């Protein structure tokens, strides 16, 4: 933009981006013109407003730069095709809002909704077939009355709110240079890649993104040979091609590696400002999907596509930075004497303590439920892991004593925050060790100079989780600033002593949320209950937290990022989506049972029955032959599965008939999931018995290796 726009126009745009002025018509027209010329130069024929309805994906509607110009010369009317793109087309469009999830805020007869350019996220161009391309305009999506219908509006509001609160706190301790604070986000994306041909033969994978039946093969991940292993050639080809496409879109992809489970991989970018990082994560998912298709692979973002092996997450690395790019959560050499670090660090921990249930709600989806709270998954408890060093820092501040162990090492370290290890191998250079070890089981862990919100699901947009995290931290910063103001008294700025008084208070308050042990253990479930930390195991229960008075007050008053109707509409949409997801899964499983599983079993049974008839004709005592045993087992299992399918049909009908969406979600959770699990258990035994040639669904061993 700087290269193509007149200087004054560019300056105005930058001022607008910082929220200081709004764009006037002439400036918008000038930007639109430059954008069109730039885009057409790269093959663009169309433009689109690109936005994020509450579907965990993005939406777009393409319009050509085409206009028809009519002129009359000598009484002849001539129509000429010309290219146009005006400032108002750049700034705003009007999609039909009634066809997107709106939680009752829009009715079909008043369907107006608006998309408005989010100038903090750069325009980009994506290639389309036949050498053409499309200009993308990142947007927010709001209703006729200005209510947020999308994921982004609330995220942008939460960014502004946290910036205000942070700047206020910084000014209290004398950091008056900082005018704006931003939240930074680095999203690690985990996913599975499976052969597309095989995937097409599995209706469950195709429709639901996860296998509803299928037994775990003898070898899966127990040898721990997949993590960081060599990438298969087809996978490397896919991922590197996706990276090239993403670089072209301005997404700074950095890391790629094999994950723990067979067929599971991870990609991560360099972190960016949160809202932009969210846009880029959504683009990453889109691009991966498209590129995998070209390589005859299918990318699976579901959190738990395969039973019995690791699921996928989306680790949201989150921090706060000043407008000078200084990371506020960087502990530096002596964190115990760094008031800025201590305040923000403790505020984040306190935020999780106060509003952990909100974070739990933010990650509640039908698919992520299998990763948190359900069978075979860790409990739904949100706690914070700090690591040895920072735990000791907080304990020492709390107990008003010197810090043990660490300060001594810090003086000798080559790297800030590291200690030196002696490997007794003279040919190796000295290596430094991080002061915090890793804890893979924590849902929310401090990792060196940022927090890592690990419980976020691989399939969901990071937007809502980051929005609620921002809101919770913002509320904590406000509260801490109020306390600090009191302690500071008449002084211009708070002293380190003042800060320590307040920090100590909040270390004490938030102590129960800190947990350094194994989050997957039964002991933690019991310990958390003793500490009063909630264990929320189902989505409907988690959604309720949004409307819980304490949390609702934060989201609608203290940090007003939602209006009450917006929050209620979200609650409605979340419940509705949950019910729909479970009904789709249940109906898919019904089809699998009657069209694939039972027919396979019957075919095999027929062969065995014929063989028994033949053996009988030869005079063999068929009551003790192994065929008889197989025949009986197939009979028992198919009877049981058919019965359970009947139960599932009843549960589906019950949920379908329940008009109250919240009640329907609870019923879906309690009735549908349980029967589906029972069906699966029986089908998986059957799979082990039926001859492979009759089993029509590709098995785990084929899908994963
Ligand atoms: P891990 O070892 O946890 O797998 P990765 O290297 O895969 O780590 O990912 C770490 C992510 O954290 C990257 O996206 C990185 O850019 C991001 N990150 C680093 N520093 C910050 C920060 N200050 N704020 C937000 N994200 C950060
Ligand atoms: Mg990683």
Which residues, in sequence order, are bridge partners of residue 135?
Answer: 47, 125
Question: Which residue among 162, 182, 186 has the greatest number of ligand 1 atoms within 8 angstroms of its CB, and so is best to mutate?
Answer: 186
DSSP, collapsed to helix, strand or coil, labels residue 2 as coil
Contact 693, 601 (CB under 8 A): no
CA neighbor of 678 nearest in space, from 595, 616, 593, 596: 593
520: Cα separation from own chain's centroid: 21
Residue 268 CB less than 6 A away from ligand 1 = yes
- Ligand 1 centroid, distance to 460 Cα (angstroms): 19
Local confidence band at 332 (pLDDT 50, 70, 90 cut-offs): confident
- Ligand 2 centroid, distance to 535 Cα (angstroms): 26
Local confidence band at 410 (pLDDT 50, 70, 90 cut-offs): very low
- Say which residues have a Cβ less than 8 Å from residue 655's Cβ, sequence separation at least 6: 579, 582, 583, 664, 667, 668, 671, 672
pLDDT digits (tens, 9 = 90+) for 307-325: 988 999 999 999 999 999 9
What does the block give as tokens for 340?
A: 């800025």
pLDDT exceeds cutoff 90 at 226: no
Name the region of 368 (left: φ>0; alpha: ψ -120 to 50; beta: rest).
Answer: alpha
Backbone angles phi, psi at 96, to 5 degrees: -75, 110
Local confidence band at 416 (pLDDT 50, 70, 90 cut-offs): very low
* CA 548, 554, 555, 560 torsion-angle sign: positive
Contact 165, 478 (CB under 8 A): yes
Sequence spans of domains, the chain: 7-150, 156-387+436-561, 578-704
pLDDT exceeds cutoff 60 at 108: no
- The CATH number of the structural domain formed by 7-150 is 3.10.20.70
pLDDT digits (tens, 9 = 90+) for 69-90: 999 988 899 999 999 999 999 9
Contact 21, 121 (CB under 8 A): no
pLDDT exceeds cutoff 80 at 50: yes
Contact 272, 179 (CB under 8 A): no
Contact 546, 566 (CB under 8 A): no
- Ligand 2 centroid, distance to 451 Cα (angstroms): 13
- Say which residues have a Cβ less than 8 Å from residue 646's Cβ, sequence separation at least 6: none
Backbone angles phi, psi at 302, to 5 degrees: -55, 145
Higher pLDDT, 535 or 422: 535
User: What confidence score (pLDDT) does residue 408 get?
Assistant: 43
Tell the residue number behind the tokens 């084929």, with chain if given.
Answer: 702
Q: Could you give the C-alpha distances from 240 to 246, 263, 268, in angstroms and in order?
A: 10, 16, 12
- Say which residues have a Cβ less than 8 Å from residue 366's Cβ, sequence separation at least 6: 539, 577, 578, 581, 582, 585
- Ligand 1 centroid, distance to 179 Cα (angstroms): 25
pLDDT digits (tens, 9 = 90+) for 455-491: 999 999 999 999 999 999 999 999 999 999 999 999 9
- E strand intervals along 248-361: 253-258, 264-269, 272-273, 297-300, 314-322
Helical (H) or strand (E) element with 472: helix 463-488
Mean pLDDT of 570-577: 96
Question: Which residue among 450, 454, 456, 466 has the greatest number of ligand 1 atoms within 8 angstroms of its CB, and so is best to mutate?
Answer: 450
Residue 331 CB less than 6 A away from ligand 1 = no
Alpha-helical regions (H) of 489-563: 496-510, 522-531, 539-544, 549-553
pLDDT exceeds cutoff 90 at 144: no
DSSP, collapsed to helix, strand or coil, labels residue 223 as coil
> Which residue pairs, CB below 8 angstroms and at least 24 apart, start in 410-416?
410/333, 410/334, 416/332, 416/333
Angle made by CA atoms 209, 189, 390, in degrees to the nearest 5: 130
- The CATH number of the structural domain formed by 156-387+436-561 is 3.30.590.10
Residue 466 CB less than 6 A away from ligand 1 = no
Exposed, middle or buried by CB within 10 Å (0-12, 13-18, 19+), for 692? exposed
In angstroms, the CA 64 to CA 45 distance is: 6
The highest-level CATH class for domain 578-704 is: mainly alpha
User: What confidence score (pLDDT) does residue 606 get?
Assistant: 97
In angstroms, the CA 555 to CA 208 distance is: 32
In angstroms, the CA 181 to CA 170 distance is: 10
CA neighbor of 276 nearest in space, from 180, 179, 141, 152: 152
Q: Which ligand is nearest to the CA of 265?
A: 2
| Lowest mean per-residue pLDDT among 15-29, 268-282, 654-668 | 15-29
- Ligand 1 centroid, distance to 3 Cα (angstroms): 32
Residue 535 CB less than 6 A away from ligand 1 = no
User: What confidence score (pLDDT) does residue 431 get?
Assistant: 61
Quick count: other Cβ atoms within 10 Å of Cβ 17? Answer: 13
CA atoms within 13 A on the CB side of 617: 6
Local confidence band at 434 (pLDDT 50, 70, 90 cut-offs): low
- Ligand 2 centroid, distance to 255 Cα (angstroms): 8
Mean pLDDT of 660-666: 97
Alpha-helical regions (H) of 137-231: 152-172, 196-200, 203-208
Q: Which atom of ligand 1 is nearest to the CA of 186?
A: 14
- Say which residues have a Cβ less than 8 Å from residue 620's Cβ, sequence separation at least 6: none
Tell the residue number behind the tokens 């008939």, with chain if given.
Answer: 657
Q: Which atom of ligand 1 is nearest to the CA of 266?
A: 7
- Number of helices followed by number of strands (H, E) in the chain: 22, 18
Total residue count of the chain as it appears in this document? 705
Percent of the chain scoring above 70 in pLDDT: 94
- Ligand 2 centroid, distance to 264 Cα (angstroms): 12
Helix, strand, coil tally for the chain in percent (to 5):
50, 15, 35
Quick count: other Cβ atoms within 10 Å of Cβ 60? Answer: 17
What does the block give as tokens for 154?
A: 């609330």
Contact 313, 303 (CB under 8 A): yes
What DSSP character marks residue 65? Answer: S
In angstroms, the CA 132 to CA 96 distance is: 26
- E strand intervals along 217-323: 253-258, 264-269, 272-273, 297-300, 314-322
In angstroms, the CA 578 to CA 663 distance is: 12
User: What confidence score (pLDDT) does residue 426 get?
Assistant: 65
Local confidence band at 411 (pLDDT 50, 70, 90 cut-offs): very low
What does the block give as tokens for 195?
A: 């052969």
Q: Which ligand is nearest to the CA of 254?
A: 1
In angstroms, the CA 362 to CA 359 distance is: 5
In angstroms, the CA 388 to CA 142 distance is: 46
DSSP, collapsed to helix, strand or coil, labels residue 413 as coil
DSSP-assigned letters across all residues of 369-402: GGTTTSTTS--SB--BB--HHHHHHHHHHHHT-P
């Amino acid at each position: 933009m700087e290269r193509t726009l007149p200087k004054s126009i560019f300056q105005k745009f930058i001022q607008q981006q910082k929220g200081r002025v709004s764009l006037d018509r002439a400036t918008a027209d000038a930007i639109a013109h430059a954008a069109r010329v730039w885009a057409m130069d790269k093959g663009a024929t169309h433009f689109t407003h690109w936005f994020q309805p509450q579907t965990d994906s993005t939406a777009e509607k393409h319009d050509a730069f085409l206009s028809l110009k009519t002129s009359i010369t000598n009484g002849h009317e001539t129509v000429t095709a010309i290219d146009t793109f005006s400032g108002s087309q750049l700034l705003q469009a009007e999609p039909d809002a009634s066809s997107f999830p709106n939680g009752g805020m829009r009715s079909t007869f008043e369907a107006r909704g608006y998309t408005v350019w989010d100038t903090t996220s750069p325009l980009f161009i994506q290639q389309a077939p036949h050498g053409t391309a499309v200009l993308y305009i990142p947007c927010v999506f709001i209703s006729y009355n200005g209510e947020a219908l999308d994921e982004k509006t609330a995220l942008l509001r939460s960014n502004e709110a946290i910036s205000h609160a942070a700047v206020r706190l910084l000014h209290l301790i004398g950091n008056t240079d900082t005018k704006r604070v931003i939240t930074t986000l680095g999203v690690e994306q985990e996913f599975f890649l499976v052969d597309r041909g095989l995937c097409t033969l599995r209706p469950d994978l195709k429709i639901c993104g996860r296998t509803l039946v299928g037994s775990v093969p003898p070898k899966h991940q127990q040898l721990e040979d997949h993590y960081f292993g060599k990438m298969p050639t087809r996978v490397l080809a896919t991922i590197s091609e996706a990276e090239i496409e993403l670089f072209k879109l301005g997404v700074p992809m950095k890391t790629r590696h094999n994950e723990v489970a067979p067929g599971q991989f991870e990609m991560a970018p360099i972190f960016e400002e949160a809202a932009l990082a969210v846009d880029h994560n959504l683009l990453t998912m889109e691009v991966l999907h498209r590129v995998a298709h070209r390589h005859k692979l299918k990318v699976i973002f579901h959190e738990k596509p395969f039973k019995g092996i690791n699921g996928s997450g989306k680790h949201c690395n989150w921090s706060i930075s000043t407008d000078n790019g200084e990371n506020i959560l960087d502990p530096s050499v002596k964190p115990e004497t760094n008031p800025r670090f201590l305040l923000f660090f403790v505020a984040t921990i306190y935020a999780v303590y106060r509003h952990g249930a909100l974070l739990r709600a933010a990650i509640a989806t039908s698919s992520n439920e299998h990763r948190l709270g359900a069978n075979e998954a860790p409990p739904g408890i949100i706690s914070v892991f700090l690591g040895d060093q920072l735990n000791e820092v907080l304990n020492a501040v709390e107990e008003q004593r010197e810090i043990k162990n660490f300060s001594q090492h810090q003086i000798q370290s080559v790297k800030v925050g590291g200690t030196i290890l002696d490997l007794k191998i003279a040919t190796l250079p000295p290596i430094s060790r991080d002061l915090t070890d890793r804890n893979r089981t924590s849902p929310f862990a401090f990792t060196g100079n940022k927090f890592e919100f690990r419980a976020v699901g691989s399939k969901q947009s990071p937007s809502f989780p980051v929005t609620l995290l921002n809101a919770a931290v913002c509320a904590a910063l406000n509260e801490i600033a109020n306390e600090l103001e009191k302690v500071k008294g008449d002084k211009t700025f708070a002293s380190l002593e003042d800060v320590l008084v307040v920090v100590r208070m909040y270390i004490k308050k938030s102590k129960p949320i800190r947990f350094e042990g194994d989050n997957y253990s039964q002991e933690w479930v019991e310990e958390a209950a003793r500490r009063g930390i909630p264990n929320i195991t189902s989505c409907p229960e988690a959604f309720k937290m949004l409307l819980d008075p304490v949390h609702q007050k934060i989201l609608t008053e203290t940090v007003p990022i939602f209006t009450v109707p917006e929050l209620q509409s979200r609650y409605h949409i979340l419940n509705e989506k949950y019910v729909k997801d479970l009904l789709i899964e249940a109906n898919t499983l019904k089809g699998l049972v009657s069209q694939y599983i039972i027919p396979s079993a019957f075919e095999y049974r027929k062969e065995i029955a014929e063989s028994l008839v033949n053996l009988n004709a030869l005079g063999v005592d068929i009551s003790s032959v192994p065929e008889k045993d197989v025949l009986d087992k197939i009979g028992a299992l198919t009877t049981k599965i058919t019965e359970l399918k009947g139960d599932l049909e009843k549960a589906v009908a019950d949920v379908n008939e329940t008009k109250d969406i919240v009640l329907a979600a609870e019923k879906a959770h309690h009735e549908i999931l349980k029967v589906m699990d029972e069906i699966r258990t029986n089908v998986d035994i059957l799979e082990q018995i039926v001859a492979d040639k009759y089993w029509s669904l590709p098995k785990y061993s084929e899908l994963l290796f």
